Amino acid sequence: MALASEQEKQSSGPGEPGGAVHTIREIAARARTAQASWAVLPYAQRAAKLKKAGRYLASHIDEITETIHRENGKLRMDALAAELLPAVLALSYYVKRGRKFLASRKLRGGSLLMFNKQGRLVKKPWGVVGIISPWNYPFAIPFSEAVMALLAGNAVILKTASVTPGAGRAIAGIAGAADLPEGLFTHVEIPGLEAGPAFISGGVDKLFFTGSTATGKEIMARAAPCLLPLVLELGGADAAIIRADADLDRAALGILWSGFSNSGQSCGGAQRVLVHRDVYRPFLEKLCVLVRNFRAGEGEDADLGPMTTVKQKEAVEKQIAACLAMGAKIAAQSAAPGPAVPFPPERFIPAMVLTDLGPEMPLMTGEIFGPVVGVCPVQDDDEALRIANSSSYGLTGSVWSKNRQRAREIAGRMNAGAVMINDHLMSHGLAETPWGGFGDSGLGKTHGEAGFAEMCKTTVVVDDVLPGVRRNLWWHPYSEKVFRGIRAAAAFAAASPLSEKLRSIPPLLGIFFRYWTKE
């Protein structure tokens, strides 16, 4: 709810090692006290507070959209469609479904031999959850994580990226409107380099990190000595497979949106577009026409905004230069923005389609994270899958085809946490679909029931349902008879022929009454 105080922010500044650790430790201690009373509230009361936050959010949509636009540079349309809308959908979905996600669940018995045991899963909040989020979707990503964490009964300490603190302040404003217990939600503004040690040593019980693969690996190494549970949502270099039977107009529009919206600064944007050779030329032509018509600038008619930072623009330009030096060609690019744009021209990169790509080029091996899409011809589905799955990343992907059945088969063979058919990237906005990749794309899930489950630790409670039981069959005292009985139990469970099962029944029955007898 509150920002870290001025004093805390000063004590966490660079040059004072340990300051940020101290800050987070104090905030975590307050959060822990608040969490204890929050977690015991009935779900309906927690949900009611979050609904209040939702009403505040609904009445501040324009203001928050403007904050994100000004701070991050993304177009208002990108802020609205890919930040505000998913946030609102997530809030209403989790408020509605949270009670069910948190309900304890009976386990079905696994074997007749253990008929007397009944397991039940009980979900509990972790306690204090840390969230560290990136600048590319500075609002939607931490917002939905904070909502899930709070509904599950946790306290939250949020650190948004240092270049987008306004989005974090907007979330703090929304949390403030929810009238949460003092200290339950805190947005902190500390430098990224101090955030890892601060959150890990500062006493959070679980850390949700979204950002680059390099930082994710660094956090994981730091978290290892204390075995801090982590969810890591990291980079991506998504493949899109365009089959010969695809609707090429739709595919070109879909690749355009997923590759170039948010100026291509989307972890799950299409980057490597693998097109069946029979439709390679017509598809490329359609995409190139769309890209050449892209309007860079500002306002409701613009298609492409600036990069969020000059540093990111330079990083992308370096990768483009490396691809070109290795033989790639620019098949199309968009025009420069007009003069009336409030962001400096040095923040803009044209939207660009690259072809003639080789397997060693940065576009094929790494994450570009800018408005650049590479298009390669492929012989068939198998070659497309081989190239798609050759990446060290495995975040999302897509298959474009009118043959739904075949598209589903190919989707199932892609090494990615989410694969969309005739669409790309948008599943991040579906609150019910889990999000999270493989390999260099990270660990664990956010969103959906699986993402909600990450906000809880699960205890299994195993009970004995037989009345009057004194002991289990395998407890002491051991004897030859008990040995033979337990051996028969194993044979009963393992042996498939009925004759063998029948042979194991007498020794098993011989020890059955141990449940109730004294010896």
Counting contacts by CB under 6 A, is residue 211 touching ligand NAD?
A: yes
Q: How far apart are the C-alpha atoms of 125 and 120, rounded to whole Å?
A: 17
Q: How far apart are the C-alpha atoms of 252 and 288, rounded to whole Å?
A: 9
- Alpha carbons within 13 angstroms on the beta-carbon side of residue 251 total 27
Counting contacts by CB under 6 A, is residue 210 touching ligand NAD?
A: yes
CB of residue 159 to ligand NAD, shortest distance in Å: 6
Q: How far apart are the C-alpha atoms of 111 and 97, rounded to whole Å?
A: 32
CA dist list (Å): 431 to 88, 136, 147, 285, 303: 10, 19, 12, 35, 26
Counting contacts by CB under 6 A, is residue 235 touching ligand NAD?
A: yes
Contact 65, 80 (CB under 8 A): yes
Counting contacts by CB under 6 A, is residue 236 touching ligand NAD?
A: yes
Counting contacts by CB under 6 A, is residue 419 touching ligand NAD?
A: no
CB of residue 165 to ligand NAD, shortest distance in Å: 10
Q: Helix H segments across 454-497?
A: 480-494
Q: Helix H segments across 117-269?
A: 140-151, 165-177, 192-201, 213-223, 248-260
Contact 376, 272 (CB under 8 A): yes
CB of residue 388 to ligand NAD, shortest distance in Å: 17
Q: Which lies closer to ligand NAD via its Cβ, residue 266 or residue 504?
A: 266
Counting contacts by CB under 6 A, is residue 439 touching ligand NAD?
A: no
| Count of residues in the chain | 519
Counting contacts by CB under 6 A, is residue 267 touching ligand NAD?
A: yes
Counting contacts by CB under 6 A, is residue 162 touching ligand NAD?
A: yes
Stretch that binds ligand NAD, among 65-73, 208-216, 256-264, 502-510 (CB under 6 A): 208-216
Q: How far apart are the C-alpha atoms of 114 and 242, rounded to whole Å?
A: 51
CB of residue 344 to ligand NAD, shortest distance in Å: 20
CB of residue 296 to ligand NAD, shortest distance in Å: 21
CA dist list (Å): 268 to 62, 102, 515: 26, 29, 56
Q: Which residues, 101 to 120, sit near ligand NAD by CB under 6 A?
A: none
Stretch that binds ligand NAD, among 149-157, 207-215, 247-255, 285-293 (CB under 6 A): 207-215
Of 8, 145, 233, 298, catalytic: 233
Whole-angstrom distance between the N-terminal and C-terminal Cα of the chain?
A: 61
Answer for which of 8, 71, 83, 233 binds ligand NAD (CB under 6 A) is: 233
Please state whether beta strands 206-210 and 185-188 pair in parallel, antiparallel, or not at all (unpaired): unpaired
Contact 88, 54 (CB under 8 A): yes
Answer for which of 103, 193, 461, 505 binds ligand NAD (CB under 6 A) is: 193
How many CB atoms are closer than 10 A to CB 282?
13
CB of residue 505 to ligand NAD, shortest distance in Å: 54
Q: Helix H segments across 40-60?
A: 43-58
CB of residue 209 to ligand NAD, shortest distance in Å: 7
For tokens 């390669």, name the residue.
376
Let me know the angle formed at the C-alpha of 159 by 155 and 165, rounded to the nearest 5 degrees. 130
β-partners of residue 420 are 398
Q: How far apart are the C-alpha atoms of 255 and 286, rounded to whole Å?
A: 11
Counting contacts by CB under 6 A, is residue 135 touching ligand NAD?
A: yes
Of 267, 288, 323, 456, catalytic: 267
Q: Which lies closer to ligand NAD via its Cβ, residue 441 or residue 504?
A: 441
Counting contacts by CB under 6 A, is residue 161 touching ligand NAD?
A: yes
Handedness of CA 439, 443, 448, 449 (dihedral sign): positive
Handedness of CA 124, 130, 134, 136 (dihedral sign): positive
Instruction: Provide the mask over 358-397, with x wherever binding to ligand NAD is found by CB under 6 A and - wherever it is not.
Output: ---------x-x-------------------------x--
Contact 276, 244 (CB under 8 A): yes
Report how far Cα 398 is from the mean position of its chain's Cα atoms: 17
Counting contacts by CB under 6 A, is residue 74 touching ligand NAD?
A: no
267 noted as active-site residue: yes
Counting contacts by CB under 6 A, is residue 133 touching ligand NAD?
A: yes
Stretch that binds ligand NAD, among 118-126, 136-144, 377-385, 466-474 (CB under 6 A): 136-144
Counting contacts by CB under 6 A, is residue 130 touching ligand NAD?
A: no
CB of residue 368 to ligand NAD, shortest distance in Å: 10
233 noted as active-site residue: yes
CB of residue 127 to ligand NAD, shortest distance in Å: 20
Answer for which of 118, 212, 355, 392 binds ligand NAD (CB under 6 A) is: 212
Stretch that binds ligand NAD, among 102-110, 233-241, 275-283, 482-490 (CB under 6 A): 233-241
Counting contacts by CB under 6 A, is residue 196 touching ligand NAD?
A: yes
HEC profile of 402-426 = CCHHHHHHHHHHCCCCEEEECCCCH
Q: In sequence order, what E strands does 90-135 have?
A: 105-106, 117-125, 128-132
Q: Is 471 helix (H, G, I), strand (E, B) or coil?
A: coil
Counting contacts by CB under 6 A, is residue 234 touching ligand NAD?
A: yes
The site that binds ligand NAD (CB under 6 A) totals a number of residues, namely 30
Q: Which lies closer to ligand NAD via its Cβ, residue 393 or residue 492?
A: 393
Counting contacts by CB under 6 A, is residue 261 touching ligand NAD?
A: no
Counting contacts by CB under 6 A, is residue 134 touching ligand NAD?
A: yes
Which residues contact ligand NAD (rule: CB under 6 A)?
Answer: 132-137, 141, 159, 161-162, 192-193, 195-196, 210-212, 215, 218-219, 233-236, 267, 367, 369, 395, 441-442
> Catalytic residues, which ones?
233, 267
